[in-house]
Homo-oligomer: A and B are copies of this chain.
Amino acid sequence: MCRWLAYTGEPLQPSTLILDAQQSLVKQSLNSQLGAETVNGDGFGLGWYPANEAAGGIPALFHSTEPAWNDENLRELAHAIESPLFFSHVRAAAGPPIQQTNCHPFRYQNWMFMHNGFLGDFLTMKRDLVLAVDPSLYPDIKGTTDSEVVFHLALTYGLMDDPIEAMRQAVRKVESVGHGLGVRFPMQGTIAISDGATIWTFRYSSQGRSRSLFHSVEIDTLREMYPEVERLNLFGRRARVVVSEPLNDLPGAFLEVPESTVAILHESGYQYEPFLEAA
């Protein structure tokens, strides 16, 4: 129901990927090629770990309910800042209203979270899922999306200690609550999580037919493949991006993340881990 992008590497202007790329995230907002919806115009978000040390490792958020494609503030901001790790998200609402508190990414302390997809029959499951959130975390839920509830379930299950295992438990909880209430496919989507150093991205759905997800190949490889593409010089050697659909049509530039898999971006490269078997 959305499209998203996560970048890590040398400090970069977000505009390079979300505005200027051939099939940039903002172009995906108006005309997605691989998304469940063509138009993702129900608000957007940008979350970035500032270079600014005064920020203390806490990511900054910019949320807007406007479509991304004509938003002047996004244009300004995406050029004015540089960040070594940022998330960006364009939304196609699947029920919860269009308001800033429903815009991704969400934040908890130094952690960010965003999601493309949905919980099946969320209003049926919502109360039980919210009850499973740790009472001390409950007041931190600011909006009304299924995604933010999943984030708080994962926090409840220890996201800050072991993000992959916490996400497994969160998804299993969604599926057990859903199946108990007669929801056939409770979980759908791709998710990105970061603590400011590592990015964990998940591709999973109860149905085994998950939303699309890709990651870039190593920039050195890409430069060898396409020595004539000058645009590649904009990126440092550690630049890596995970994104809902490829940012350009260069064959081989983006690889699909397999189903039921976690793709982890470290400073040293990508790494896959199996996530869960589809329910």
Contacts and interface: CB of A to CB of B under 8 A. Distances in A.
Interface string A62-95: 1111110110110011011110000000000100
Interface stretch (A53-61, A156-164, A215-223, A261-269): A53-61
A67 B41 contact: yes
A169 interface: no
A138 B144 contact: no
A229 interface: no
A233 interface: no
A77 B60 contact: yes
| A: interface residue count bin | 35 or more
Copies in the complex: 4
A97 B93 contact: no
Contacts of A144: 101, 142-144
Q: Which of A38, A77, A99, A135 has the most chain B CB within a 10 Å cutoff?
A: A99
19 contacts: A13-B54, A39-B41, A41-B41, A52-B81, A55-B80, A61-B76, A62-B77, A63-B72, A67-B67, A70-B97, A72-B100, A73-B73, A80-B81, A97-B99, A97-B101, A124-B139, A142-B144, A143-B144, A144-B144
A123 interface: yes
A67 B55 contact: no
Interface string A114-153: 0000000001101100110001001100111000000000
A153 to B, nearest CB: 15
